[in-house]
Structure 1
Amino acid sequence: MPKFVVRVELRRASSENYEELHEKMQRRGFNREIVGQDGKRYRLPDAEYVTEKDGSAYGIREEVRAIADSVVETNFVLVTQAGEMSWFLDQT
């Protein structure tokens, strides 16, 4: 299954809006942590998610946009289909 990295920005949003977004994204299989080859978990930057699911970047974008729209009216969404990934992040 393809991996996707997703970034969401909610405009004029409160911390409660972001908590709602995180909960809704998690229920749909979007994670705020990434697991390395070492089996350790790493925390992604705020409002960034990873998922593995069938579909295209466009399809994932539409799914995420619907979730973000249910939280606040104005938002921005960026979806990238990932091949090889490398990072320097805080371990959870």
Structure 2
Amino acid sequence: MRAVMARFMTRVELHYAPHDGADYEKLHEQMESRGFQRTISSSDATYHLPPAEYYIEGDYSRDGVLQAAKESAQAIGYTVWSPTTTARKTFAAVTSDAPTSTWAGLEKV
């Protein structure tokens, strides 16, 4: 019997960084090196995800996926935001189970 792979959507927001800037390009590289994709596929096509949104599928836990996203942002010099953070480059991240997804308005690859 084939195991069902877990699916997750993760958003990483680099505070005050433009989505088309160099820091996001570095983040994309870090995320992709950890297995994240910036696209999602249906039975008929593959689509680009919104900025700062990532998809990953595999034998992962939600906590492990979030940890990989945090490590990606930290690798490019960002710190997790908190009310007491004094760092200039901060980020926030959220990971959700995504066993099925529905979307509208995404551009085809």
TM-score higher than 0.5? yes
> Which has more helix, going by share of residues?
1
Gaps (5+ residues) in structure 1? Answer: none
Q: Is 1:19 aligned with 2:36?
A: no
The structure with more radius of gyration:
2
- 1:15-57 deviation line (CA, Å, top 9, x unaligned): 100000001111111000111111x110100010101121221
Match of 2:94 in 1: 78
Contact 2:30 2:75 in 1 (8 A): no
- 1:48-67 deviation line (CA, Å, top 9, x unaligned): 01011212211111111011
Q: Is 1:69 aligned with 2:85?
A: no
Identity across the alignment (%): 37
- CA drift of 1:12 comes to 3.1
Gaps (5+ residues) in structure 2? Answer: 80-89
CA distance in 1, matches of 2:91, 2:58: 23
Report the TM-score, using the length of structure 1 for normalisation: 0.91
Question: What is the count of residue pairs matched by the alignment?
Answer: 91
Match of 1:8 in 2: 12
Q: Could you say what the CA RMSD is over the residues aligned between the two structures, in angstroms?
A: 1.2
